[in-house]
């Protein structure tokens, strides 16, 4: 079987689960099996027997609704490749909006310390540490997620402190210039309606309580004690939370609240900057 034949076979097989993405998924899985980036239909190189077996097993896993990223074991975020596993949320392109805004603020305001809570794979904190050199702490309530974050920081050569914590509970007495958070924000009932693939991601990373706002309420109560003067809190939100999340932070004295859209035009980030 040539790469070209493998692409056609995988694309047809995957159309049932991957729909419009069948060719993209096929190319990723054939590349994974071949151990190199395959270019497309012009590639007539023969796959070995072992590569064919790897491809068959990968396609079968995808047909059982395993997310592509879990099969590949890695995914890209802000130009870096992160290890992913079922213990962490798969890094999303939407979240790059938060990372880009954080990078802009770090440069504009000369921030020197960052706390990335709800860090999961560590994609936000690690990419900011690598891109700006900021002193960074990554924290999560899940030890299994933190182990993936630790491996990502090590693989990518990012110098990060790793702290297990229920939001700010382990940070008593410490303050940071910037706090970033992509907390779980999907209402409990909505989680039940998500695709088979998304349901294979950790519930702890998705379920934001009855109205999706439980963690934001706790952040709103607590964040002030952990921010330096002139510091900022950046949070990712769901596309329909552009009013409900800022409302939780209104009344914070001396703070500017800003809403930032993602590249699809959806409300995506709430920025709270202390003046």
Ligand X SMILES: C[S@@+](CC[C@H](N)C(=O)[O-])C[C@H]1O[C@@H](n2cnc3c(N)ncnc32)[C@H](O)[C@@H]1O
Site of interaction with ligand X (CB under 6 A): 88-89, 91, 95, 117-121, 123-124, 140-142, 145, 166-167, 182-184, 204-205
Output 2 or 195, the one with its CB closest to ligand X. Answer: 195
Question: CB of residue 217 vs ligand X: minimum separation in angstroms?
Answer: 12
Cα dihedral across residues 139, 141, 145, 146: positive or negative: positive
CB within 8 Å of 91: residues ≥ 6 apart:
75, 76, 77, 82, 84, 120, 121, 123
Q: Cα dist. 200→117, 139, 194 in Å? A: 22, 22, 10
Output 142 or 273, the one with its CB closest to ligand X. Answer: 142
Question: CB of residue 68 vs ligand X: minimum separation in angstroms?
Answer: 16
Output 57 or 169, the one with its CB closest to ligand X. Answer: 169
Question: CB of residue 73 vs ligand X: minimum separation in angstroms?
Answer: 16
Output 1 or 248, the one with its CB closest to ligand X. Answer: 248
Question: CB of residue 24 vs ligand X: minimum separation in angstroms?
Answer: 21
Question: CB of residue 142 vs ligand X: minimum separation in angstroms?
Answer: 4
Question: CB of residue 74 vs ligand X: minimum separation in angstroms?
Answer: 14
Output 67 or 91, the one with its CB closest to ligand X. Answer: 91
Output 183 or 242, the one with its CB closest to ligand X. Answer: 183
Cβ-closest residue to ligand X? Answer: 120
């Amino acid at each position: 079987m040539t790469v070209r034949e493998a692409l056609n076979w995988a694309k047809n097989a995957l159309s049932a689960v991957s729909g419009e993405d069948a060719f993209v998924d096929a190319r990723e899985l054939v590349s994974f099996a071949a151990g190199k980036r395959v270019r497309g239909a012009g590639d007539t190189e023969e796959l070995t027997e072992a590569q064919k077996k790897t491809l068959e097993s990968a396609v079968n896993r995808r047909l059982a609704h395993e997310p592509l990223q879990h099969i590949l074991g890695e995914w890209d975020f802000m130009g870096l490749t992160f290890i992913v596993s079922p213990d962490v949320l798969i890094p999303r392109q939407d979240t790059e909006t938060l990372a880009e805004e954080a990078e802009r603020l770090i440069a504009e305001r000369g921030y020197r310390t960052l706390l990335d809570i709800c860090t999961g794979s560590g994609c936000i904190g690690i990419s900011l540490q690598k891109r700006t050199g900021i002193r960074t702490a990554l924290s999560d309530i899940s030890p299994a997620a933190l182990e993936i974050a630790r491996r990502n920081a090590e693989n990518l050569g990012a110098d990060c402190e790793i702290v297990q914590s229920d939001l700010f509970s382990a940070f008593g007495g410490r303050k940071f210039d910037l706090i970033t958070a992509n907390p779980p924000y999907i209402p409990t009932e909505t989680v039940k309606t998500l695709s088979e693939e998304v349901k294979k991601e950790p519930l702890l990373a998705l379920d934001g309580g009855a109205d999706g706002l439980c963690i934001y309420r706790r952040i709103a109560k607590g964040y002030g004690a952990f921010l330096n003067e002139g510091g900022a809190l950046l949070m990712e939100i769901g596309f329909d939370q552009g009013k409900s999340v800022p409302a939780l932070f209104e009344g914070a004295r001396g703070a500017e609240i800003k809403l930032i859209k993602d590249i699809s035009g959806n409300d995506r980030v709430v920025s709270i900057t202390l003046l």
